[in-house]
Each structure stands twice: as structure tokens, then as C-alpha cells.
A and B are shown apart, each in its own frame.
Chain A
């Protein structure tokens, strides 16, 4: 008769039970400590505080907002700000990344190496530091309104923000955030795009040229579809990083969802609820981006017969 510690079925059940118990006990201890501490401090659990007045003001809002609005409205404003930064960041970073990525493959030595320097410098320094640099050393060091730097009257730069054509005005905080996020993610996207284009076999170029296609058409019809198959998965994770990195807005004073949630915590002391709100928001944003990109991915995948 085999010893009980070699009996596979017993071991499997024992292992499952022990692991369930371990997880359950750890969770129980932590949860209990948490509720005990919260009780001692007089902080209850509940989301009713969302209806009470926020009483703080938010500098940049996409929807009308007054300090008498609820915390719920404040959080909504923060969410819209985060989405604004993320979407603009994703679009601009893709463009910058594409340009630099193709530059990395140029036959021109100078262009190729300038792109290399750009990529290696920006990839190997922390994003937070780059944001601080852009905000403090560049954007709020710009001259005042009276002496602003003007490009043909279309684009004006001063220490309050950037004025673009069509009446668009972007504050210094938002400008620094968008510029920093775009350039940083652009460096990574450049490498992804370069890797994708290089992954297409040389034979494809030659065959397409043998068919008589012009370079522009070769890129569009033969190379890019195949390259995109390799590019899209890592590109997805870069887009997710842009959305997550937008939370660094707190360092440059731009009121995104994390900043507003953090202020809410400071005013109400509701740690657990605020933590849950932050988690749900970012997980939803991440999930949305992943799902969208996965659908896109599927349309590019090889359809096996």
C-alpha cells in the first residue's frame, strides 16, 4: 500500500485545501485588521460621500464644473481629462514613432543616427524626470505674455501655455504632459515599428519590385500589412503604458483622474473606496484599449485555411 504522502489523489486534494485555507486566512487577517483600524479611526465604508460637495476647484475641465458639485462630478472631470491626455498621446506618439522608426531604417547615415540618439536617450531616462524637465525647465520658463515667442502669429508660446491655430489653447501643464508622454512613448514605438518592418523578409521587397510596383505602393500593399502583424501586440502594450503613464499628471499639476482621486482621499480620508475607484477606472481603460487592439490584431492575423 503506498504511503499516504505518495497518494496522488490525496496530495492533490490536500494541496488544494491547504492553499485555499492559506489564501482565506491571509485575506481574513488583513480584512479584519483593516476594518478594526477603520472602526477605531471612525472612518466607515460606503460610497455615499460621492454625493457630497467636493468644495475644491479644478483648473482645467472639459465639462462645466463648480466647487459645489459632488465628488462624483469632480471624478468625472478627472476621468475626462485623463482620457483626453491618453487619446491625444496615443495618436501623437504613433505618428512620432512611425516617423522615427522609418528614419531608423533610412539609407542616410546622419538621419539614421540622429534617430538612434533620440531613441537611446529618451528610452534610458525616467519619464518623470523628462516631465519635470519639460514643465519646469521649458514651459514655465517661457517668457511672459507680453514677450511671448510667436511662430508666424499662428503658434504662440508663453509661460501660461501654448496657443495653437483655430483658437486652441493648451495650458503649460497639459503641454508639458502631452509633449513628455508623446516623445517618451514615441521612442519605444519607433523601435517596435522598426522591428516590425525589419521582420518582413527581404524576399518580399525584391518580389514586389520584380512585379514593377513603385516604392510607395510596395510599402502600402506588401510590407505594412505583414509588418503590422508583428507590430500590433507590442504596440498595444505601449498604448497601455501611455494610458497608465498619464497618471504622472499629478507631478505637473494637471488634474487627471488620479490627481482628483488623491485630492478626494485627502479631503475625506476614505482610503479603501478611493483605492477601489482608481483600480476600477484604470482597469476599465486598460481593458478597453486591449480589446480594441485585439480586434484590430485579429483582422491582421494570418487566416489559416
Chain B
């Protein structure tokens, strides 16, 4: 009788010990052999982390639909996987939670005007896909402030957003030139711009594309000007979680196909005819020849799907940032490598 109760107690304790199988390590690398690509396919939609507040890159139109360069990248991937660019769920992420959201798998891909840097590539557990927009950090001031270059900012206040590369780059440049200034820093990007507009700071610093884009949302856009100087390189690229090569390859080659399509002259208007073109490069791109798509886990004609639904890089750019948009940003460095820019994608072979 004395023994029975102790046995029961030990039995209960043993059962509890087995509950610690909830711990990931003891379950073994089970979860890592399933690629995110398969999870997305079975889920039926892509979860895309965006900003949602940056016209031209990712924002919500009046009818509730998302639009922008970053949004189109996600639509392209959804088109490649599901032949339907609408199978995307967008999550608005602020600058602080964007990396955590990728690390924990809350979003499949971070397409959120994020700058690719050494430290982000190595110490935040993410991989960066090819650059979709070569940008640089700039400064916006009021036209009547007579600030023409960094030296004119001596003693003035500059609004900036924390959690971005902008904060550090500005500090570096000002320190190098020995200019003393006062940084006014906020977490929320809207607060940064509204505080600048109120006149609390004489200048505001951010990626040039962001400055141009948000200038259109100020109450008197013509009173402000984006200076011609560049404080740093800001290559914007989408990012995925470390350790999943299959999914990473899909994202990489979706972006490469956008660029290659423009290079080969394939766009959403002529893609159907060009599928039967005599050019072997185009045939391989569109999947009429070869098995490149299948090797990546997609259908062979995945590029055709992308171009039909979303278009090639120039169509995407013109629609969101270029001549067909409100921003009318020059392509500049974002032209193809053989047209004076630095956009270059590896061949489809």
C-alpha cells in the first residue's frame, strides 16, 4: 500500500516529462525538411510582409487593394506558384517588427523596401533576394530654407526614423564632416513626416524614393525639395528566412525572371505570341523548352504566368514609380545593365 502511491506519483511525473517533447530540439530537425514553398502551396496563399504606408512601394488604395513595387513582387511570386496574383495576404509591418516577423515565420517573405546590408544578412537570420531597387539615402528640406548641402545643416534639427539604416548613415556622414546637428528620432514613420511638416525640424532624411513618395502626401508638396546629394547606398531587396534554399531559389528566380523578361523584350502584351518565338533564350524563359521551372519546384511556364499577370520589370516600375505613376521617378541606376543601369540577372539556362 505504501508503494502504490509513490508509483502513481512517479507515473504522473514521467508523463509530465514526456510533455517536454513539445520542445523543438527534442523533436529533431523534423520541421526543417519541409520547405516553406510546400507550406505555401498547401496553404493556398502567400503571406507577404509589407509596409502598407509607402506610396509607390506598398500602400492601400481607396478600394482596399494593395499596390506598389513591393506588392508586385509578392503578386509575381503568387502568380508563379498559383497562376493567380490575388492569392496573397498582406501584413502591414512597422520598422521594428519586420525582422522578427520573418524570423518567426509569421510572414513568408519580407517585401518592405528593406536595405540589404552585411549585418542584416549575417546576424538577423535572413537571406536577401536580388535587389529590386537601387536607392540611396537623401535629405528633404523646405525650398525656402536655403539649405543646399550637408554643411548647411549645422546646428539644425533633422527628423529621422529609428530602426533604419538612415539613422546611422546620417550620423556617420555628419561625424566625418564634423558638422554638429540635432537628431529628432521617432519610431513611427508617419510621426517623422508629420513632425517635419510641422516645422519642428528643418530637414528630414530617408531613402530618396521614400522622400519623393511621401512628399506627394504632404499638404503642400511644392514647398519641399529633395536635395541632389546621396548620403549612402540603399539597395532595396526582399528577404526570406535563413535555411530554406528551395523557397529562397523561388524568390530569387521570380525577381530574375522579371529582369530577364525586360532584357529579352517580353512583356504582358506579347508574351503569348513570343512563347512560340524562334529565340531559344525566350523559349527557355517561358518554359516552352527545357525543365527549368520543375527543378525549382514550380511549373515550367511559371515565368509566363508572372509576365501575363504582373508584367516585366519595366512595366512594374512604370506602373508604380515611373511614368505611369504619380511619382515619376527616373529609372536612373535601375535601368538594365546594357542600357546604362546596373540591373543584371543571371541567364535562364
The answer to whether A and B touch in the complex, with CB atoms under 8 Å apart, is yes
Question: Which residues from chain A sit less than 8 Å from chain B, CB to CB?
Answer: 1, 4-5, 7, 10, 14, 17-18, 21-22, 25, 28-29, 32-33, 35-37, 40-43, 55-59, 66-68, 136, 140-141, 144, 159-160, 172-173, 250, 253, 255, 259, 262-263, 266-269, 271
11 contacts between A and B (CB under 8 A): A4-B4, A10-B5, A18-B16, A29-B20, A33-B24, A36-B24, A57-B174, A57-B183, A58-B183, A68-B175, A259-B185
Q: How far is the CA of A160 from the CA of B200 in the complex (A)?
A: 6
| Residues in chain B near residue A140, CB distance under 8 A | 195, 198-200
In the complex, the answer to whether B195 meets A253 with C-beta atoms within 8 Å is: yes
Given contacts A42-B122, A55-B168, contact A253 B242 (CB under 8 A): no
| Residues in chain A near residue B187, CB distance under 8 A | 250, 262
| Contact residue among B20, B194, B243 (Cβ-Cβ distance under 8 Å from A28) | B20
| Residues in chain A near residue B184, CB distance under 8 A | 59, 173, 253
| Residues in chain B near residue A18, CB distance under 8 A | 9, 12-13, 16
| Residues in chain B near residue A59, CB distance under 8 A | 157, 182-185
| Residues in chain B near residue A160, CB distance under 8 A | 157, 200
| Residues in chain B near residue A250, CB distance under 8 A | 187
Given contacts A4-B5, A67-B171, 13 further A-B contacts (CB under 8 A): A18-B9, A25-B16, A29-B23, A37-B104, A40-B125, A40-B242, A57-B167, A67-B168, A144-B199, A159-B199, A160-B200, A263-B163, A269-B99
| Residues in chain B near residue A262, CB distance under 8 A | 96, 162-163, 187
Q: How far is the CA of A73 from the CA of B199 in the complex (A)?
A: 30
| Contact residue among A17, A25, A267, A269 (Cβ-Cβ distance under 8 Å from B168) | A267
- Of chain A, the residue at the smallest CB distance from B98 is A266
Q: How far is the CA of A14 from the CA of B200 in the complex (A)?
A: 65
In the complex, the answer to whether B125 meets A266 with C-beta atoms within 8 Å is: no
Chain A interface mostly: helix
Q: How far is the CA of A35 from the CA of B26 in the complex (A)?
A: 12
| Residue B295 is within 8 A (CB to CB) of chain A in the complex | no
Write out, one digit per residue, whether chain B residues 162-191 have a CB within 8 A of any chain A CB (1) or not (0): 110001101110110000001111110001
In the complex, the answer to whether A22 meets B16 with C-beta atoms within 8 Å is: yes
Q: How far is the CA of A263 from the CA of B185 in the complex (A)?
A: 10
| Residues in chain A near residue B194, CB distance under 8 A | 136
Given contacts A7-B5, A33-B23, A41-B124, contact A56 B198 (CB under 8 A): no
- Of chain A, the residue at the smallest CB distance from B126 is A41
Q: How far is the CA of A7 from the CA of B193 in the complex (A)?
A: 69
In order of increasing CB-CB distance, the 7 nearest A-B pairs are A41-B125, A4-B5, A266-B163, A32-B23, A67-B171, A57-B171, A55-B168
| Contact residue among B24, B125, B162, B191 (Cβ-Cβ distance under 8 Å from A32) | B24
Given contacts A18-B12, A57-B183, A266-B162, contact A67 B172 (CB under 8 A): yes
| Residue B123 is within 8 A (CB to CB) of chain A in the complex | yes
In the complex, the answer to whether B17 meets A25 with C-beta atoms within 8 Å is: yes
Total chain B interface residues with beta-carbon distance under 8 A:
51
Among B1-54, those with CB < 8 Å from A are: 1, 4-5, 8-9, 12-13, 16-17, 19-20, 22-26
Given contacts A43-B124, A67-B172, contact A263 B162 (CB under 8 A): yes
- Of chain A, the residue at the smallest CB distance from B18 is A25
- Of chain A, the residue at the smallest CB distance from B159 is A253
Q: How far is the CA of A181 from the CA of B186 in the complex (A)?
A: 19
| Residues in chain A near residue B9, CB distance under 8 A | 14, 17-18
Give B12 Cβ to nearest chain A Cβ, in Å: 7
In the complex, the answer to whether B186 meets A253 with C-beta atoms within 8 Å is: yes
| Residues in chain B near residue A4, CB distance under 8 A | 1, 4-5, 8
| Residues in chain A near residue B172, CB distance under 8 A | 55, 67
| Residues in chain A near residue B26, CB distance under 8 A | 32
- Of chain A, the residue at the smallest CB distance from B105 is A37
| Residue B103 is within 8 A (CB to CB) of chain A in the complex | yes
Give B15 Cβ to nearest chain A Cβ, in Å: 10
Give B237 Cβ to nearest chain A Cβ, in Å: 18
Q: How far is the CA of A23 from the CA of B26 in the complex (A)?
A: 18
Q: How far is the CA of A173 from the CA of B198 in the complex (A)?
A: 14
Q: How far is the CA of A18 from the CA of B12 in the complex (A)?
A: 8
- Of chain B, the residue at the smallest CB distance from A141 is B198
| Residue B227 is within 8 A (CB to CB) of chain A in the complex | no
- Of chain B, the residue at the smallest CB distance from A7 is B5
Given contacts A4-B4, A28-B20, A269-B124, contact A56 B171 (CB under 8 A): yes
| Residues in chain A near residue B153, CB distance under 8 A | none
Q: How far is the CA of A22 from the CA of B242 in the complex (A)?
A: 33
Q: How far is the CA of A253 from the CA of B200 in the complex (A)?
A: 12
Give B4 Cβ to nearest chain A Cβ, in Å: 7
